Amino acid sequence: MRIKVHPVLGPLKGKATIEIEVDGRRISAIPGEMISSALIAAGIKVFRTTHKKGEPRGYFCGIGQCTDCMMTVDNIPSVRTCITPVSKGMKIKTQYGHGKWEV
């Protein structure tokens, strides 16, 4: 959910003018925001599952340190979505295990 109004930060300035694709589903995003933000705004919480046990993982540290938020972005696996900005038409996939390069 986006925070449209805020007592200190004022009204939300950015507009969700672009679309990205997540596992085939189209969601809107604000240019410049991180991929993880667009996903959480759309209610998506599970970003990947672990290699051994298949456990779900999602946004955790927000600064590129924990690797919990890695997804496959435009066919490149293990992209840290919390420090990677969105771009128009980006194709994002939930990553299972280590993911794989898809060329």
Asked if 59 is part of the footprint of ligand FES (rule: CB under 6 A), the reply reads yes
Q: Burial, 69: exposed, middle or buried (Cβ in 10 Å; 0-12, 13-18, 19+)?
A: buried
Q: Judge whether 87 and 76 are in contact, CB under 8 Å.
A: no
Asked if 87 is part of the footprint of other proteins (rule: CB under 8 A), the reply reads no
Among 61, 75, 88, 102, binds ligand FES (CB under 6 A): 61
Complex with other proteins: residue 82 or 92, whichever CB lies closer: 82
User: How many angstroms separate the CA atoms of 41 and 53, rounded?
Assistant: 27
Complex with other proteins: residue 72 or 84, whichever CB lies closer: 84
Binding mask 42-71 for other proteins (x = CB under 8 A): ---xxx-------xxxxxxxxx-x--x---
CA 70 from chain center: how many Å?
Answer: 8
